[in-house]
Amino acid sequence: MPPPVEHPKPARPGTVKDVDWKDFRDHLSTADSEGRRQWLYPRKVQGPFYRGRTWLSWLLLAIMFAGPFVRINGNPLLLFNIVERKFIILGQIFWPQDMIMFAVALLIFVTSILVFTAAYGRLWCGWTCPQTVLMEMVFRKIEYLIEGDSHLQRALDKAPWTAAKIRKKVGKHVIFFGLSFIVANILLAYIIGTEQLFQIVTDSPVKHLEGLTAMILFTLVFYAIFARFREQACTFICPYGRLQSTLLDENSIVVAYDYKRGEKRGPWRRGQPLEQRQAEGHGDCIACRQCVTVCPTGIDIRDGTQMECVQCTACIDACDDVMQRIGRPRGLIRYASLNGIERGERLKVTPRLVGYTAILFALAVLLGVLIFTRSDVQTTLLRAQGALFQQMPNGHFSNLYTIRVVNKTSRAIPIQLKLENTKGELQVMGQDIVVPPQKQAETSVLIELDPAVMKPGTTPLVVGVYSQGRRLETLKTGFIGPRDDSAR
């Protein structure tokens, strides 16, 4: 992190007026010294980064809203049904039995965050985090449309309540609530699936009290976040922002102010020649504070990398615009590492980055193997409780088992069982086993062995689980018989 730059500083308009500037690391930019919330009015931003983020956000929003309705092999794209412990990723169904895969996938997710953050800072937060995308690209834009840019919003809040103000405020909050309801429904569709969601919406509310409660709760939470809580979700709640300080190092690429080029800051007097300004020891920062007024978290990036910075690039666009207007090169605020700014170094591959990447690669290989060798069914074969062996009239011995087959696919699977390691009879009691899609079937199985192939006590058995001639699994179990050879 760049060292804090010492400089005289005016009070921050619209934010904290009574906090000592040099204490910025000890204070939240959105709270005064009493801890009271200071409402932020970030100015509208324009520029290439903002345009890029806007296009990307349309794409991400389209994916997010379409996700629950897209089907692959009849399954949703994504489903995280925690209640029924059923998970679908890219149309593939995962069951609690596949938890090992989830654990590895979770480790991959965490390691990717480590690698990515160590190399590129909080790129995720600024460009793809659903909170930022929805807040900055949907809710904030609606606010600008209804209430105008930051100065108009500030004036409206200070103005007395008139019919026009009530209209604007009520209109905005009704739209915010409606949007929160839609977002809540989309989230619910990712959890319970669109079919169940449709039932909740169309059936009698009495039949779906739990679903309705979740819907209302989600709506209220989203409304609270986007209408009131806003940037505080990133600074108070999200653990990723707090992790940042431990993940970043001097080679991480972050949105950074080039203090070597910018300092000493100071206003550029109209008509003042550049040479004269430079001779006075001034850098390129003209202390216009445009970078601060656009910041959605209310910080001044010129103080160095801060936990509140979500790397949204608004300050880059704002400063580039200023630089262009005063005829100086763009990039006073830019994506750069501390070493890049201090020593002009490019992104370095550090041993830490290599270590994280190696772990990530190993985990990805492990996950690939687990997915590749994953069976369509999960079968358990247990000896029936309390049942001992029985001797048949033909002298053979029999054991009774219970078999349970979980079908992890979205098609019905007929199951056949075969003794693999010894001669004997295997008989499924009742009808043939056909496991319905995404369901499990349980039935009894009788295995009969000739005493000639039995061992004293327990005979190890291997049972093959087949479907249409293809072996899906092999199971090991024991066949109980008399311990004494003379009893056979």
Name which position in 28, 119, 191, 291 contacts ligand SF4 (CB under 6 A).
Answer: 291
Closer residue to ligand SF4, CB minimum distance, 315 or 447: 315
Least Cβ distance, residue 312 to ligand SF4 (angstroms): 4
- Binding ligand SF4 (rule: CB under 6 A), the pick from 289, 381, 399, 406 is 289
Helices (H), 121-231: 123-127, 130-134, 140-147, 150-158, 163-192, 194-202, 209-224
Contact mark string toward ligand SF4, 323..352, x via CB under 6 A: ---------xx-------------------
From 298, 295, 290, select the one nearest 321 (Cα to Cα): 290
Q: How far is CA 225 from the centre of its chain?
A: 17
The amino acid sitting at 124 is: W
How far from 333 is each of 285, 314, 330, 454, 468, CA to CA, in Å?
A: 10, 10, 8, 80, 64
- Residues near 285 by Cβ (< 8 Å), separated by ≥ 6? 257, 262, 263, 265, 266, 302, 332
- Min dist CB 96 to ligand SF4, Å, is 40
- Tell me, letter by letter, the H, E, C secondary structure of 64-87: HHHHHHCEECCEECEEEECCCCEE
Does residue 290 bind ligand SF4 (CB under 6 A)? yes
Tokens of 396: 């053979």
Half-sphere exposure at residue 4, Cβ-oriented, CA atoms within 13 angstroms: 11
Site for ligand SF4 in 299-328 (CB under 6 A): 299, 301-302, 309-315, 318-319, 322
What is the footprint of ligand SF4 within residues 253-282 (CB under 6 A)?
255, 257, 262, 265
Q: Interface with ligand SF4 includes 115 (CB under 6 A)?
A: no
Residue among 6, 2, 36, 37 at smallest CA distance from 23: 6
x-or-dash pattern for ligand SF4, window 202-241, by CB under 6 A?
----------------------------------------
In whole angstroms, give the CA distance from residue 466 to residue 478: 20
Tell me whether residue 132 or residue 251 sits nearer to ligand SF4 (CB atom): 132
* 295 makes contact with ligand SF4 (CB under 6 A): yes
Q: Which is nearer to ligand SF4, 232 or 290 (CB)?
A: 290
Q: Is 12 in the site for ligand SF4 (CB under 6 A)?
A: no
Among 108, 285, 353, 463, binds ligand SF4 (CB under 6 A): 285
Chain positions contacting ligand SF4, by CB under 6 A: 255, 257, 262, 265, 285-291, 294-297, 299, 301-302, 309-315, 318-319, 322, 332-333
